[in-house]
């Protein structure tokens, strides 16, 4: 199932703007009834202005996913600082 940020995007608008064709197709993707290609996921991520990783990371699954989720709100500077401190 694809994780979709709730930022006010409506299915018809996303379907139109992403050239996916129909809100029904997006609905089947959201419900996990169809398997999107990586290309389709990238188109959706681009239109939502998020990283592809943001659509496919589920923080409740494991600690690595939780860590990825927590970095979403961090600035690029904060992430670089965190990575610099980790290198040894």
Annotated domain spans of the chain = 11-86
Cβ neighbours for 10, distance < 8 A, ≥ 6 positions apart = none
Its pTM stands at: 0.59
Residue-wise pLDDT tens digits, 7-65: 455 555 555 455 666 667 777 877 889 888 898 888 888 888 888 888 888 888 899 88
Structure token digits, residue 24: 């029904």
User: Which residue's structure tokens are 């290609």?
Assistant: 37
* Euclidean distance between CA atoms 67 and 75, whole angstroms: 15
């Amino acid at each position: 199932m694809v994780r979709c940020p709730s930022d006010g995007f409506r299915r018809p608008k996303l379907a139109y703007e992403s050239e996916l064709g129909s809100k029904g197709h997006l609905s089947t993707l959201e419900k996990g009834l169809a398997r999107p290609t990586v290309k389709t996921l990238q188109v959706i991520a681009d239109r939502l202005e998020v990283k592809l990783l943001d659509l496919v990371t589920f923080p409740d699954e494991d600690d690595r996913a939780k860590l990825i989720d927590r970095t979403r709100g961090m600035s690029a500077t904060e992430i670089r600082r965190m990575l610099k401190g980790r290198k040894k």
